[in-house]
Structure 1
Amino acid sequence: MDDSLGDMGQEPDGRTLHFGEFYGHAVPGAEADSDAGIAVVMGNCQAESLRIMLDGAGLHTVRVPPVHELTAADLPFLDRLLERTTLLVSQPVRDDYHELPLGLRQLSSRLAAQANTVAFPVIRFAGLYPTHAIVRPPSDLSLVPPIVAYHDLRTLAEASKRVTMPTVVTPKAVRAIATDSIAELTRREEAFDTVRASDLFARPGFAQMRTLNHPGNAVFAAVAERVRHRAGLVEHSVDPGRALLDSVHAPRLAAVIEAFDLDDEPASDWVVGGAVVADADVREAHLEWYSQHPDAVEAGLARHRRALEILAAA
């Protein structure tokens, strides 16, 4: 590309090398099949795993930064890539995301006339981790608590000093949380006309989700198959040779295992980057963080009121 970083006189750093083809750097074997269509997968951390599962069989996928990491300086590279793209696969990103033209509709409008667009959902399933939640503090939506980015509703309630939660989660509560979570995912799929993922959790298991929003390989494989089908591409399966989105594993409650009649053993600790982290240590770190960010507590109680009610009542 004539606007590669090398041509601009900039020495590539680790990030630009990691996303080398996006920034116009030669990547060995990246475009070996000249007849292959060019695909871009846009979204959060799930997008890269789906890209891996889509690559091949007439489709050359280009690794791009997650949408929340893109900056204004990246737009020329993105626009140049979109000019060549034959298939855009994207989560339903809103218009002017981070004050940049990165919305699904905006990206689609910059494709060539013959290009295709397929949307896939932001995959969250709380049934396997019924006490966990994602909370964005109003004061700074990028803030996350230490150690792990997942909030435990029981710890959140404790930090509020006014909400009382039972000490034991019941299988009844787990099933109710799962039903609500599937319903919400289905609602989003229908609202944004995405391929389906909600039906994959009719019989949930821990191999499907490592955390609330980190799917396992089987989920990505199924979604990739549905994307290819909607795009009119031939069937194709990929074995990446490794577990995708594998850096964090959440604890596994006995109530979840009982609720879904699973063969797994309960696990009381987190696994973060291969290291075991006690849930009690996470709790203490998060309570301290909540004391410094009380707006996160209020936002969490408001956003996840339904889940808190289910856990308290069951």
Structure 2
Amino acid sequence: MRVIVWGNCQAAPLGDLLRAPLARAGLDVVDLPPVYLLTRDEVSDVHALMPDVALLVSQPIRDEYRVPGCATSTLAGLLPPDGRLVTVPLVYYSGALPYQVTANGADGLRVNAPLTDYHDLRLLQAADRGETATDVLAGWPRAAPDDALRAHAAASLAELHRRERTCDVVVSDLVTAPDALFTLNHPNNAVLGETARRVLGAFGGDPASVAVPLREYLGGIRAPVEVGAPWLIAGEPVPWDVVITEHLAWYRTRPDVVRDGLDRNARRLADLYPR
């Protein structure tokens, strides 16, 4: 019998953490790419596996998300009568990284920023205003008021609470620990390990059987929390002046990404920088 762990970039680490404990119960975790990379044919291949799946561990994937047939409800409906579904929320929390966002291109697909993959609202604003790297660096960092930052952190945590209410596993108590996330959706191994333990417990397994490796699954890009600290990318420090210069030069070629990032995060900008 097989196990499918379904979701974004957090799914593969969870599957790896669950592999050994579930193997002792005769269950085999299937290796899959994140949902946002799957094609229609690959989703169809997953459908074909579902009658032999004993456990589906899934983030809540919407019916309309990217490829038809990838919704959690669709896969759950293909489980055998004795198959189990355990739902887990996406670990997504921007309380410690209030300026960090994702953005899409004109085609509606996510577009990563150069170097960091993630976009910074302050740099998106600067690009929209036509500012140069020299302009931005002269006043960097442009910090929001402390009360606005605290309010944003509380709102981000409340949103995670809201999303996890319909899930079998909760994670909101894990994300506010120091260094819990490297980026807004890349938790460290401590968070992933505890999430895997809770999934195993919800399935009736022994949470203590989850072993967490030293190598960080999602630590390839680490955003700085401290003011002025560099990014860490593939283990190497990258200072802000390099990031600012690269982003602004690239944004000149992608005004569609700038517009999307600002439009989709207009509420956050208004909250962080109230007039």
TM tier relative to shorter chain = 0.7 to 0.9
- Tell me the equivalent position of 2:32: 64
- Distance of 2:178 and 2:146 partners within structure 1: 14
- Tell me the equivalent position of 2:127: 159
1:197 equivalenced with 2:171 (yes/no)? yes
What is the Cα deviation at residue 75 of structure 1? 4.0
The one of 55, 68, 92 aligned to 1:124: 92
The one of 272, 286, 289 aligned to 2:233: 272
- Distance of 1:75 and 1:93 partners within structure 2: 13
| Contiguous gaps of at least 5 residues in structure 1 | 1-36, 255-266
Contact 1:52 1:240 in 2 (8 A): no
Contact 2:145 2:273 in 1 (8 A): no
What is the Cα deviation at residue 76 of structure 1? 5.1
The one of 171, 180, 197 aligned to 1:225: 197
Task: After TM superposition, list the pairs within 5 Å mapping 1:43-192 onto structure 2.
Answer: 43-57=7-21, 58=25, 59-75=27-43, 77-95=45-63, 97-161=65-129, 167-190=142-165, 192=166
- Tell me the equivalent position of 1:215: 187
- Tell me the equivalent position of 1:287: 248
Contact 1:128 1:204 in 2 (8 A): no
- Distance of 1:144 and 1:174 partners within structure 2: 25
What is the Cα deviation at residue 122 of structure 1? 1.5
- Distance of 2:62 and 2:44 partners within structure 1: 20
Contact 2:171 2:195 in 1 (8 A): yes
Per mean C-alpha deviation after superposition, the further-off stretch among 148-157 and 129-138 is 129-138
Look up the equivalent residue of 1:198 and give its one-letter code.
Answer: S
What is the Cα deviation at residue 250 of structure 1? 0.8
Say which SS state the counterpart of residue 238 (structure 2) adopts. Answer: strand
What is the Cα deviation at residue 194 of structure 1? 4.6
What is the Cα deviation at residue 233 of structure 1? 2.3
- CA gap of 1:139–1:292, structure 2 versus 1, over 3 A, is farther
Look up the equivalent residue of 1:302 and give its one-letter code.
Answer: D
Identity %: 34
What is the Cα deviation at residue 219 of structure 1? 0.8
What is the Cα deviation at residue 73 of structure 1? 3.1
What is the Cα deviation at residue 133 of structure 1? 1.0
- Distance of 2:259 and 2:41 partners within structure 1: 35
Q: Which of these two proteins has the greater Rg computed from alpha carbons?
A: 1
Say which SS state the counterpart of residue 86 (structure 1) adopts. Answer: strand
- CA gap of 1:125–1:96, structure 2 versus 1, over 3 A, is closer
Contact 1:41 1:51 in 2 (8 A): yes
Contact 1:139 1:295 in 2 (8 A): no
Contact 1:91 1:120 in 2 (8 A): yes
- CA gap of 1:313–1:97, structure 2 versus 1, over 3 A, is closer
What is the Cα deviation at residue 86 of structure 1? 0.4
- CA gap of 1:177–1:194, structure 2 versus 1, over 3 A, is farther
Per mean C-alpha deviation after superposition, the further-off stretch among 46-55 and 268-277 is 268-277
- CA gap of 1:176–1:96, structure 2 versus 1, over 3 A, is closer
Contact 2:127 2:252 in 1 (8 A): yes
TM-score of the aligned structures, taking structure 2 as reference length: 0.86
Say which SS state the counterpart of residue 178 (structure 1) adopts. Answer: helix
Say which SS state the counterpart of residue 98 (structure 2) adopts. Answer: coil
Contact 2:43 2:70 in 1 (8 A): no
- Tell me the equivalent position of 1:13: none
- Tell me the equivalent position of 1:251: 224
- Distance of 1:299 and 1:116 partners within structure 2: 38
What is the Cα deviation at residue 248 of structure 1? 0.5
- Distance of 2:58 and 2:115 partners within structure 1: 29
Say which SS state the counterpart of residue 124 (structure 1) adopts. Answer: coil
Contact 2:39 2:67 in 1 (8 A): no
Number of equivalent positions: 263
